[in-house]
Amino acid sequence: MDWPISEVARMSGVSARTLRHYDETGLLRPARTGANGYRYYGERQLLLLQQILVLRALGVGLPEIGRILDAQVDEVEALRGHHRRLLAERDRLDALAGTVSRTIAELERSRKDGRTMSAINRPENLFEGVQPAQYEESLRDFPELAEDAERRTSAMSEAEMEAGQRERTAQMIRLAELLTAGTPYDAAPVQAEVHAQYRAVSQLRTLTAEEYRAIGRSCVENEQWRAAYEAITPGLAAYQRDAIEAYATTRLS
């Protein structure tokens, strides 16, 4: 049985545009192309797509996924390898859950003492266990930007990754304090924070308005990012998204 691209997109959650990109780059060819030009996928292609999505969830970039799929011979053995990676990912998520738990406890203590988190000498790293490459799922309609992000993060040392995560934590704390104070997301102090974030992420390359909006949406749509934001203060993920939307509209469009 073959499934049309629209049905594969519905079943997998992968957009038809991304599936076409996978075909054009040779990562996942359809089983056949109909006379009408529509792509159709068989059971083997669905199994390969499952492997691609598992590897993407584990933070593997598209070029490396292509090499893995080309090199593998036995599908069962390949799935065993993916299973081992998933178990390691489970351990990483456990570490993330511990990070959020510690952050909640720290917030409760700081509020009881009448302090803000930015007054704490060394706040918890709220993004421990959250990899920058996880933006990529939210950027799947911008494959070139996603690949740029993957290349940048894969070249970072652990110390650079840690420093970046802590800076991201500090940015979110500052934004949370503006939210708590009732500052509108399009107000100058908020937009100044978003501008600093834009300059940091633009070290990859200059982003278009739509690419930056996609990063803003990831704050809400990516479950792990949203959990980290909401652990600081409720509503922060949407506040960040809306602030980026306002910045993209006024500064980048």
Tokens read off for 57: 């969830």
User: How much is the average pLDDT of 109-120?
Assistant: 56
Most confident of 159-163, 199-203, 228-232: 199-203
More confident call, 107 vs 222:
222
pLDDT (0 to 100) of residue 243: 96
| 3-class SS shares of the chain: helix, strand, coil, % to 5 | 70, 5, 25
User: How much is the average pLDDT of 58-74?
Assistant: 77
More confident call, 37 vs 75:
37
What does 8-74 look like in DSSP terms, one character per residue? Answer: HHHHH---HHHHHHHHHTTSS--SEE-TTS-EEE-HHHHHHHHHHHHHHHTT--HHHHHHHHHH---
Domain boundaries 3-72, corresponding CATH code: 1.10.1660.10
pLDDT (0 to 100) of residue 134: 47
Whether 238 shows a pLDDT value over 90: the answer reads yes
Model pTM above 0.85: no
Whether 74 shows a pLDDT value over 50: the answer reads yes
CA distances from 231 to 45, 80, 96, 169 (A): 39, 34, 11, 11
pLDDT (0 to 100) of residue 119: 40
Q: Is 32 helix (H, G, I), strand (E, B) or coil?
A: strand
pLDDT (0 to 100) of residue 132: 46
Average pLDDT, the chain: 77
Q: Is 33 helix (H, G, I), strand (E, B) or coil?
A: strand
User: How much is the average pLDDT of 145-158?
Assistant: 67
User: How much is the average pLDDT of 123-151?
Assistant: 55
User: How much is the average pLDDT of 131-140?
Assistant: 50
More confident call, 149 vs 88:
88
Domain ranges of the chain: 3-72, 85-252
Please report where in the chains the tokens 């650079």 appear, as a residue. 160
